[in-house]
A and B are shown apart, each in its own frame.
Chain A
Amino acid sequence: MKSNIIASSILLGACFLSLYRYFRFEEIFFLLLAFRELIASINFLRRKNPIAESKNAFIAYLSSGLPYLYFPPSSLSFELISNVLFISGFFIVTLATIDLGKSIGVKAAKRDRVTTGIYKYINHPMYLGYSIAQFGMVLLNPINIFIYILSLFLFFKRSSEENRILNS
Chain B
Amino acid sequence: MNKLLKIITVLLTVSAFSQVFNNERSVSIKDFNQLSKFYLDLSNTFLELSKKAQSLEESDLNHYEKEQLFRKEMDLKMDSINNTVLEIGNNFKGSPGV
**One of A83-91, A141-149, A151-159 contacting the partner:** A83-91
Interface size for A (C-beta < 8 A) is: 24
CB-based contact A25/B25 at 8 Å: yes
Residue of A nearest to B23 (CB): A80
Contact A87:B13 (CB < 8 A) given known A25-B25, A27-B25, A80-B20? yes
CB-based contact B2/A94 at 8 Å: no
| Closest CB in chain A relative to B20 CB, distance in Å | 5
CB-based contact B9/A91 at 8 Å: yes
Bin chain B's interface residue count. 10 to 19
CB-based contact A31/B12 at 8 Å: yes
Chain A 7-45 interface 0/1 with B at a Cβ cutoff of 8 Å (1 = within): 000000000000000001111110110011001000000
Is the CB of B19 closer than 8 A to any CB of chain A? Answer: yes
Which one of B2, B16, B29 lies within 8 Å of A87 (CB-CB)?
A: B16
CB-based contact A32/B29 at 8 Å: no
Is the CB of B80 closer than 8 A to any CB of chain A? Answer: no
B29 partner residues in chain A, CB cutoff 8 A = 76, 79
Which one of A29, A80, A94 lies within 8 Å of B9 (CB-CB)?
A: A94
CB-based contact A91/B13 at 8 Å: yes
A95 to B7: give the CA distance in the assembly, Å.
Answer: 10
| Closest CB in chain B relative to A93 CB, distance in Å | 10
B15 partner residues in chain A, CB cutoff 8 A = 28, 31
A84 to B14: give the CA distance in the assembly, Å.
Answer: 11
Is the CB of B26 closer than 8 A to any CB of chain A? Answer: yes
Is the CB of A99 closer than 8 A to any CB of chain B? Answer: yes
Is the CB of B5 closer than 8 A to any CB of chain A? Answer: yes
B5 partner residues in chain A, CB cutoff 8 A = 39, 98
Residue of A nearest to B97 (CB): A24
CB-based contact B20/A25 at 8 Å: no
| Closest CB in chain B relative to A35 CB, distance in Å | 6
7 more CB-based (< 8 A) A-B contacts, given A32-B9, A76-B29, A83-B20: A27-B25, A32-B16, A80-B20, A84-B17, A87-B13, A99-B2, A117-B6
Please name the 8 residue pairs, one residue from A and one from B, whose CB atoms are nearest each other, closest first: A28-B16, A26-B26, A32-B12, A91-B13, A83-B20, A29-B16, A28-B15, A94-B9
